[in-house]
Structure 1
Amino acid sequence: MTQSLDAALASRFAATALGHVTREYPNHIMHVLTGPQDARTPRDMHPIFFGSFDWHSCVHGWWTLFTLYRLHPDMAEAPHIRALADEIFTPEAVAGEAAYLARPEARGFERPYGWAWLLMLAAELERHDTDEGRRWAVTLRPLAQIFADRFKAFLPLADYPVRVGTHYNTAFALRLTLDYADVHDPDLAAPCREAARRWHMNDRDCQAWEPSQDEFLSSSLMEAVLMRRVLTAEDFRIWFDAFLPALTEGRPATLLSPARVSDRTDGKIAHLDGLNLSRGWCWREIIAGLPSDDPRRAVAQKAAAIHLDAALPHVTGDYMGEHWLASFALLALLAA
Structure 2
Amino acid sequence: MRQSLTAETAQHFAAIALGHVGREYPNKPANVFSGPEDAKTPSELHPIFHGSLDWHSCVHGYWMMAHILRTFPDIPAAESIRALFDAMLVPDKVAGECAYQAKPTSRGFERPYGWGWLLKLSAELSLLDERCWFENLKPLSDVFTGRFTDFLPVATYPVRVGTHFNTAFAMRLAADYAETIGDTALLGLLTETALRWYGKDEACPAWGEPSGDDFLSSALVEAECMRRLMPAEGFLPWFDRFLPEIVARRPATLFSPASVSDRSDGKIAHLDGLNLSRAWCWRSLAKALPQGDPRRPIMEKAAEDHLASALPHVEGDYMGEHWLASFATLALEA
2:104 aligned residue: 104
Q: State the match for 1:258 in structure 2.
A: 257
Match of 1:120 in 2: 120
Find the aligned partners of 1:60 and 1:100 in 2 and give their Cα distance: 19
Q: Flag as ranges the 4+ runs of structure 1 deviating above 3 A.
A: none
Q: Retained in 2: the 8 A contact 1:283–1:300?
A: yes
Indicate yes or no: 2:310 matched with 1:275: no
Among candidates 190, 193, 196, match of residue 191 of structure 2: 193
1:107-256 aligned at under 5 Å gives the runs 107-129=107-129, 133-184=130-181, 185-209=183-207, 210-256=209-255
How many pairs align? Answer: 332
**Could you list the per-position Cα deviations for residues 34-88 of structure 1 after superposition, in whole angstroms to 9, with x for gaps in the alignment?**
1111111000000000000000000000001111111111111111111111111
Query: Percent identity at matched positions?
Result: 61
Aligned AA (2:60) = H
The amino acid that maps onto 1:142 is: P
How do 1:50-89 residues align onto structure 2 when only pairs under 5 Å count? 50-89=50-89
Q: Deviations over 1:114-166 (max 9, x none)?
A: 0000000000000012xxx2111110111101100110011101110000000
* Distance in 1 separating the partners of 2:157 and 2:298: 31
- Name the CA distance, whole Å, in 1 between partners of 2:49 and 2:2: 31
Amino acid at match of 1:13: F
- In 1: Cα distance, 2:169 partner to 2:86 partner: 30
CA distance in 2, matches of 1:85, 1:250: 44
**Residues 236 and 289 in structure 1, CA contact (< 8 A), matched pair in contact too:** no
Deviations 1:215-268 (A, max 9, x none): 000000001101111222122111111111111011100000100000000000
**1:183: Cα distance to partner?**
2.6
Structure 1 residues 2, 231: closer, same or farther in 2, change over 3 A? Answer: closer
Distance (Å, rounded) in 1 between the aligned partners of 2:320 and 2:285? 26
CA deviation vs aligned residue, 1:149-192 (integer Å, no higher than 9, x gap) = 11001110111000000000000000000000123211111110
Counterpart in the other structure of 1:306: 305
> Given that residues 56 and 110 in structure 1 are in contact (C-alpha distance below 8 angstroms), is that contact kept between their aligned partners in structure 2?
yes
Structure 1: unaligned runs, 5 residues or longer: none
AA paired with 1:206? Answer: C
> What is the CA–CA distance in structure 2 between the aligned matches of 1:182 and 1:162, rounded to whole Å?
23
Secondary structure at 2:56's aligned position in 1?
Answer: helix
C-alpha distance in structure 1 between counterparts of 2:150 and 2:8, whole Å: 43
Give the partner amino acid of 2:281: C
Residue 23 (1) aligns with residue 20 (2): no
Tell me if the contact between 2:216 and 2:277 (Cα under 8 Å) persists in the aligned partners.
Answer: yes
Match of 1:284 in 2: 283
Partner of 1:3: 3
What CA RMSD, in Å, does the superposition of the two structures yield over aligned residues?
A: 1.0
Letter in 1 for 2:159: V
Structure 2 unaligned segments of length 5 or more: list them. none
What is the TM-score normalised by the length of structure 2?
0.98
Tell me the distance in 2 between the aligned counterparts of 1:88 and 1:277. Answer: 29
Greater mean alpha carbon deviation, residues 80-89 or residues 269-278: 80-89
